[in-house]
């Protein structure tokens, strides 16, 4: 799998649909799609992203999906749907970096997710990215982990961003962080 910078730029501002089962128990809410995600149609698709390896290490999913230029297999997609795990984004438009998003976009996304979680009624929603959570939900002093509030009635967690740009977290520390909401959702013991 590989794209040139010019090929990826064609995906700027493309919207990537959610991966969502009909009745999710856990929804991970990323900041917004990166250009690799837009190019493949797979959330957290960049080769340096540690989202799927961390979920595997935490025991949430049995294997990382194989991501190709054309997406993931039906079997890998079904693995998430069968586990009742959804993946969404605060802001649906693709950018090269999350810092290209405005605070207003993040706030609109937070409200959209509040409404979406109320509609979907998962047990747990986990926002992936502390800075985006702080800005989007207007919680400048929030920390990682379980929050005191809910999101559309779902137990709310904030977990670290798995991007390779977030160098101080490892697959092991991400796995530990992602196990919390998965445990709360009843997906792991």
pLDDT digits (tens, 9 = 90+) for 88-112: 999 999 999 999 999 999 999 999 9
- pLDDT score at 175: 98
Q: What is the residue extent of each domain of the chain?
A: 23-184
Contact of 147 with 158, CB cutoff 8 Å? yes
23-184 homologous superfamily: Uracil-DNA glycosylase-like domain (3.40.470.10)
Residues 26-56: tens digit of each pLDDT: 999 999 999 999 999 999 999 999 999 999 9
Determine the Cα–Cα distance for residues 164 and 52; give it in Å rounded to an integer.
Answer: 13
User: pLDDT grade, residue 1 (50/70/90)?
Assistant: low
Burial classification of residue 144, based on how many CB atoms lie within 10 Å of its CB (0-12 exposed, 13-18 middle, 19 or more buried): middle
Average pLDDT, integer, range 117-134:
97
Weakest-pLDDT range from 81-85, 143-147, 163-167, 182-186: 163-167
- pLDDT score at 145: 98
User: pLDDT grade, residue 147 (50/70/90)?
Assistant: very high
Determine the Cα–Cα distance for residues 33 and 35; give it in Å rounded to an integer.
Answer: 7
């Amino acid at each position: 799998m590989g794209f040139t910078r010019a090929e990826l730029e064609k995906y700027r501002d493309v919207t990537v649909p959610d991966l969502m089962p009909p009745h999710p128990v856990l929804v991970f809410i990323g900041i917004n799609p990166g250009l690799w995600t837009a190019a493949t149609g797979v959330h957290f698709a960049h080769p340096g992203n540690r989202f799927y390896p961390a979920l595997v290490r935490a025991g949430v999913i049995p294997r990382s999906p194989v991501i190709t230029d054309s997406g993931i297999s039906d079997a890998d997609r079904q693995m998430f749907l069968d586990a009742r795990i959804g993946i969404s984004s605060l802001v649906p438009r693709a950018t090269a970096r999350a810092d290209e998003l405005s605070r207003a976009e993040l706030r609109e996304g937070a409200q959209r997710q509040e409404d979406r979680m109320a509609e979907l009624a998962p047990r747990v929603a986990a926002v992936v990215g502390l800075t985006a959570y702080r800005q989007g939900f207007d919680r400048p002093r929030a920390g990682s982990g379980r929050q005191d509030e809910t999101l559309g009635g779902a137990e709310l967690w904030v977990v670290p961003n798995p991007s390779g740009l977030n160098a101080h977290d490892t697959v092991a520390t991400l796995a530990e962080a992602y196990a919390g909401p998965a445990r709360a959702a009843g997906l792991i013991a």
